[in-house]
Amino acid sequence: MSVLPSSLRPKGVRAALAVIVGLMAGGLIGLRDAQSETIKQRPCDIYAAAHTPCVAAHSTVRSLYAKYAGALYQVKRASDDTAENIGLLADGYANAATQDTFCANTNCIITKIYDQSPQHNDLVIAAGGHYKGPGPGGSDLGAAADALPVTAGGHQVYGVSISPGMGYHNTRTTGVAVKGEPEGMYMVSSATHFNSGCCFDYGNAETSSTDTGAGHMDALNVSRDLEWPNCRGQTGPGVHADLENGIFHWDKRSCNPAAIIAGGPRPFISAWLKNNGQTRFALKWGDAQSGGLRTIYSGALPSGYAPMRQEGAIILGIGGDNSHASAGSFFEGVMTSGFPTDAADNAVQSNILAAGYGTPTGLSGTLMPGSEISLQATTACCAGDYVRNRNGAAVIAPITSGSAVQDRRDATWIVRRGLAGSSCVSFESKSDPGDFLRHQNSALHLQPFDGTALNRSDATFCAQPGKNGKGNSFHALNYPTKYIRHYYGKVYVAGDGDGTNPWDNKALWTDDVSFIVGPPWSP
């Protein structure tokens, strides 16, 4: 729109423009006020206003109270065994740069996740239980602090990536429901990182870390449940209630199809459980990036579980008896005193959506950490092909703007600091947070990062100018003469005629190992 200089405008026009500008300013101020109110409200503020206050609030991503100003979590580095608290930025998201600086040139694990509620029910690495962990004295292992980089609220932050053998608990809590008292809980997790091992739980469990019987647990579970025979054909995870001696989708000892996460891979989900402790419980799930909540079940407790007999411990990533065969992702979760209303749950879901999980990083098409990219082949045969994930295997395939949404997501990668060396890079899947390109037996595939030294090395690649003069080539950190190469549609690490494998031959090698780093296919 063209606007006349003020000296040439008639007085009436100037006055009218002043009114319009004033109205626009008022509207913008009103919008900012509305946004400010949204920012002021966090999940535990919403639950407190609904008279079901939080008695536990855990997150490595953001504050769950508008006025919380403490640390979110603690990391410990391997180089000197010292610990550092990770606090908040001014807008309430984790100051992950503190972790990056503290853990530079060494490895860190998450040793504590602080409870933001006034109850101070902090989670620490589980000390073991009926099932001993692989750590010192039978304890569990801590999650690698850098295993689950994600974007939230426009910031680079970290979630908690649980692999078998890892877990957290607090067996001496304050304020958590016991002996049939009502409670509610939710967690933000992922439907792309899971297994069928017991038990990726968050919630109320036994104080003894042993199985003390039906109803002594009241915890959320996100997993592929194979407990009931009619669930065994399901390939995706579901949202369930672990009530001890049974993972329940409803009041029956069978599979409820509504519990299965529908609609294909969902990188961020919200899972919900509430229990009045006496007669009924409810399960819900939602996409943590868009939409509302879906009710899985709301009705009677299973036979033998009414009333409940909760003991008030809190667990994350394990079962009540320290079963630690699970895998999963955790970003935030709370537990309440009292049975929350559906309206409060819906408002919290809206707050989760506003948190901006998985939004674009703001960087694109470069090898800077945090940049979202595509990797395009340069060989004449395949110039329209890109490295993508296909059912866990790395392949090259044609991708265009008309390709299916999931195909474009599977061809989008996020550049991360090299898991085994900060001068190199690792490639995280945009559609599967915490899954990285890794070579094993020469082939590249997608795998969750479990924190092991071998996994770190296998998922780290060092960039240099493209061998054919185009783009970049990437050699494996632990095999410097072997470079990422596409060969007959699959992707390997390959040497220039230095091996016995077909993909090590010299023909077209310099072209096949050169890739254009370009903009992402999925924003």
DSSP H helices in 187-256: none
Task: Please check whether residue 177 is in contact with residue 53, taking contact to mean a CB–CB distance below 8 angstroms.
Answer: no
- Residue 283, CA distances (Å) to 182, 238, 263, 379 in order: 14, 11, 18, 51
Contacts 24+ apart (CB under 8 A), 298-303: 299/250, 299/251, 300/251, 301/243, 301/251, 301/275, 302/243, 302/246, 302/248, 302/251, 302/252, 302/253, 303/251
Tokens linked to 226: 């194979």
Candidate list 45, 321, 458, 504, residue with the active-site label: 321
The rounded distance, in Å, linking the Cα atoms of 234 and 237 is 8
The rounded distance, in Å, linking the Cα atoms of 497 and 509 is 8
Q: Give, as one character, the DSSP assignment of residue 488.
A: T
Beta carbons within 10 angstroms of residue 452's beta carbon: 12
User: Residue 505 class from Cβ within 10 Å (0-12 exposed, 13-18 middle, 19+ buried)?
Assistant: middle
Place of tokens 């039906």: 214
**Shortest CA distance to 129 belongs to which of 208, 223, 222?**
208
The rounded distance, in Å, linking the Cα atoms of 205 and 384 is 53
What value, to the nearest 5°, has the Cα angle with vertex 10 and ends 5 and 14?
70
Candidate list 115, 183, 201, 244, residue with the active-site label: 244
Task: Please check whether residue 508 is in contact with residue 502, taking contact to mean a CB–CB distance below 8 angstroms.
Answer: no
Tokens linked to 407: 């195909």
Place of tokens 């989760």: 352
What does the DSSP assignment read for 342-379? HHHHHHHHHHHHHT-TT---S-BSSSSTT-EEEEEE-S
- Catalytic-residue membership of 428: no
- Residue 315, CA distances (Å) to 125, 171, 259 in order: 10, 8, 21
Task: Please check whether residue 287 is in contact with residue 254, taking contact to mean a CB–CB distance below 8 angstroms.
Answer: no
The rounded distance, in Å, linking the Cα atoms of 75 and 118 is 22
Task: Please check whether residue 472 is in contact with residue 515, taking contact to mean a CB–CB distance below 8 angstroms.
Answer: yes
The rounded distance, in Å, linking the Cα atoms of 143 and 522 is 29
- Catalytic-residue membership of 115: no
**Shortest CA distance to 459 belongs to which of 493, 487, 410?**
493
Active-site residue set: 244, 321
